[in-house]
Structure 1
Amino acid sequence: MIGLESHNDSSAVFFLAEEVVAKKKASAKKSVKKRAAKKSVKTSTVKKASKKASKKVAKKKATKKKAAKKSAKKATKKAAKKKAAKKKRK
């Protein structure tokens, strides 16, 4: 920092003020960067979580679909067997 020789030295006061402003700006920039970093981590975490959840839901849906298909196939087979048995009896 610049030392003041007299109280009326306005240029020195100006330089001091400029230095203070520069320091404040730098610290503000740092905090903004920190905040942005935190935000990006948070959003990426949220994205990962939602992606995982959607995958889980998709898997569940696929399993349900598969089960439904299987049961439908089974029911069709059973009905066909019943029909064949009925025909045999006649």
Structure 2
Amino acid sequence: MKKVIASLIAGLFATSVFAQAPAAPAAPVAKAEAKEMKAVAKADAKEAKADAKADAKVEKAHAEAKSDVAVANADATKSKAKAHSKAKKAKAEAKADKAVDNAEAKKDAAMK
């Protein structure tokens, strides 16, 4: 029984020695890992901010393009309506001139 107890006690001492040995160098490694993780997080945040900024620029350009298209369409519609109005006026003038010419022709024919 004494041998069993002695081997258990020796085992406890041995495990405590091995359990404590790597603890000392682990602290600087953990610190370095924490620093690295912090740097990675900072870089990720910076990249996300740059991406958001670029997306905002794209959205702004897209909105401006849509606005420009809407203005161009409105101008085209206005120009088309104006041209249509001018064509109607020209057609009415031509019809009036034709009526005057016909009236003058009838008058000349009646005079002869």
Q: TM class, shorter-chain normalised?
A: 0.7 to 0.9
Structure 1 outlier segments of 4+, above 6 Å: none
Asked which structure has the greater RCO (Cα within 8 Å, sep 6+), the reply is 1
Q: Is 1:82 equivalent to 2:97 in the alignment? A: yes
Please, which of 69, 78, 84 is the counterpart of residue 54 of structure 1? Answer: 69
Q: CA deviation at 1:15?
A: 1.2
Query: Normalising by the residue count of structure 2, what TM-score does the alignment of the two structures yield?
Result: 0.68
**Equivalent residue number for residue 13 of structure 1:** 28
Can you give the 5+ residue segments of structure 1 that lack an aligned partner in the other structure? 1-8
Give the greater-gyration-radius structure (CA).
2
Please, what is the CA RMSD of the aligned residues?
1.2
User: What residue identity is the alignment partner of 1:30?
Assistant: A
Q: More helix per residue: 1 or 2?
A: 2
Query: Normalising by the residue count of structure 1, what TM-score does the alignment of the two structures yield?
Result: 0.83
Map Cα deviations across residues 24-81 of structure 1 (whole Å, 9 max, x no partner).
1110111111112211221111111111111111111111111111101110110011
Identity of aligned residues (%): 24
